[in-house]
Amino acid sequence: MATKKSASPGETGLPAGLALLHEPLLNKGIAFTEAERDALGLRGLLPPTVLTQEQQVERVLENLRQLPTALDKFINLNGLHDRNEALFFRVVSDHPDEMMPLIYTPTVGLACQRFAHIFQRPRGMFISTGDRGRIAPVLRNWPQRDVRIIVVTDGERILGLGDLGANGMGIPVGKLSLYTACAGVHPATTLPVMLDVGTNNVEFLEDPLYIGTKQPRLRGKEYDAFVDEFMTATQEVFPGVVVQFEDFANQNAFRLLENYREKVCCFNDDIQGTAAVALAGLYTALRVTGSKLADQRILFLGAGEAATGICDLAVEAMVSQGLSESDARKRCWLMDSRGLVVKSRTDLNEHKRPYAQDHAPVGDFLSAVKAVKPTGIIGVAAVGQTFTREVLEEMARNNARPIVFALSNPTSKSECTAAEAYRWTEGRALFACGSPFDPITLDGKTHVPRQGNNSYIFPGVGLGLIAARARRATSEMFLASAQSLADQVPQSDLEQGSLYPALARVREVSAHIATAVAEVAFARGLAGVDRPADVQAYVRSQMYDPSYKSYV
């Protein structure tokens, strides 16, 4: 009887031998089967044992859990990401509660601060001021042609840590990891980009190991021209690609979003993603209180991208509930470093002016809480421990169920801890946080706080935009994503104080959000594909599964 001839390396269309083992999108490591080892020239290049992906996951977890610090674990996972993407995403997808704080907030903040010193292998594209005039050819150096989404930063406002220059590349890499882990966006279609326009961080400029351009930040017309060349090049090289702006400073973030939102399918996660996740938290909190958003009075500690983004989306939601735009704006109060944002002030930036209230000046947050008597306070200023005991006790005096969102991250920048929020409101706070906190037991009742983390929103939004081949990302889509997220919080979660779904359900949550976003694109004529009969089934069919595929 004739024996079947094995395929020779190259006949499969895959790289063979060491080239395959060095390709993270294709590598399976010791999980390559006997047949694959014969067909792909791997015989002798791997130990003889064949393990399943599940066994590999067990080994990853065993080694990871023995490491002493979160940064050590970040570096370990980064190495895994660099050599075996499917295994990396299998680990993160199957253990989101444990892994997401390691690959993103809060650990990614420290990783960015130390990025130049823990740097191992480039990931994504670094486009510097030296590339002006040739950005499109530089983008063509990227090996993948079917790029569907780009996350781009210039590193000026990384989390609450300020100007980290090229070290901020950890943020786009981390964000796109969450796109894949949380929403199944295929990693081969993602591209992290650092626009290296210099840094004003003196420590980095003097660091011999700093990996970025050692010059002061580009400003003014030269900066705008550089970004414009980049945005034009993205659509030339990757037509229709979605662009997510990430961690740009206020002075650029609002302007860039306004300049490009009607030209390119783009959004700013710090403005619009934060807004949607905060609005979803308000919706779920109001399910507990039984009141309407239009009846709330929200005081923000912070008046930057996050605060005004939340205000803008909340105003749209209130208008949909019957308020005029003017009356809705009166329900959103901002507090910046100089005090309450009021009409008599002459130092207000453009983005703050719509929320300047007709009120006497107030200089500190406690006094503002006493004067405004808000139903909810939202911290997005990245100034730690500003929701003091006096502030929280005042909120509890004025509200049966005070809304307290301490959304700044990393953890050191959190306005208060979960324990403080519950303890100083007698367990009555409706609490959400930007960094993870453990459950708190108070007077026999266990409260389970959950993060108001953008990872609930942006992966699903991105998936929806990609699936519909949307030409624009609109405010209506973010309203739909907020409502979709809130609708997926079961009553059992609300009863334990959780305003967001469990992270273990994040892929399911993202599928629903993506469906809601795609439905808006189809309804408004913004989609680049025909509407399928079953939008949710179509969206799910687009989601990447990090299980190993057979190559022979």
Which DSSP state fits 114?
A: T
CA distance 179 to 388: 35
CB 416 within 8 A of CB 387: yes
Classify each residue of 86-99 as buried b or exposed e, where b means 16 or more C-beta atoms within 10 Å of its C-beta.
Answer: bbbbbbbbebbeeb
CA distance 181 to 456: 11
Which DSSP state fits 38?
A: H
CA distance 267 to 276: 12
Look at the block and give the residue holding tokens 């007077």.
Answer: 443
Apex CA 518: angle with CA 105 and CA 505, to 5°? Answer: 40
Annotated catalytic residue 221: no
Residue of 4, 5, 28, 175 marked catalytic: 175
CB 252 within 8 A of CB 276: no
Structure tokens at 342: 């009021």
CB 151 within 8 A of CB 176: yes
CB 328 within 8 A of CB 315: yes
Give me the residues paired with residue 128 across strands: 196
DSSP letters of 141-183?
A: TSS-S---EEEEE-SSS-TTS---GGGGGHHHHHHHHHHHHHH
Instruction: Please state, in angstroms and as integers, the Cα–Cα distance from residue 14 to each residue in 11, 455, 547, following that order.
Output: 8, 34, 18
Annotated catalytic residue 104: yes
Structure tokens at 118: 């823990």
CB 542 within 8 A of CB 485: no
Residue of 4, 5, 28, 104 marked catalytic: 104
The SS3 assignment for 239 reads: coil
Instruction: Please state, in angstroms and as integers, the Cα–Cα distance from residue 239 to each residue in 232, 235, 264, 460, following that order.
Output: 10, 4, 10, 21
The SS3 assignment for 531 reads: coil
Structure tokens at 53: 């992906």
Query: Cα Rg for the chain, rounded, in angstroms?
Result: 24
Residues known to be catalytic: 104, 175
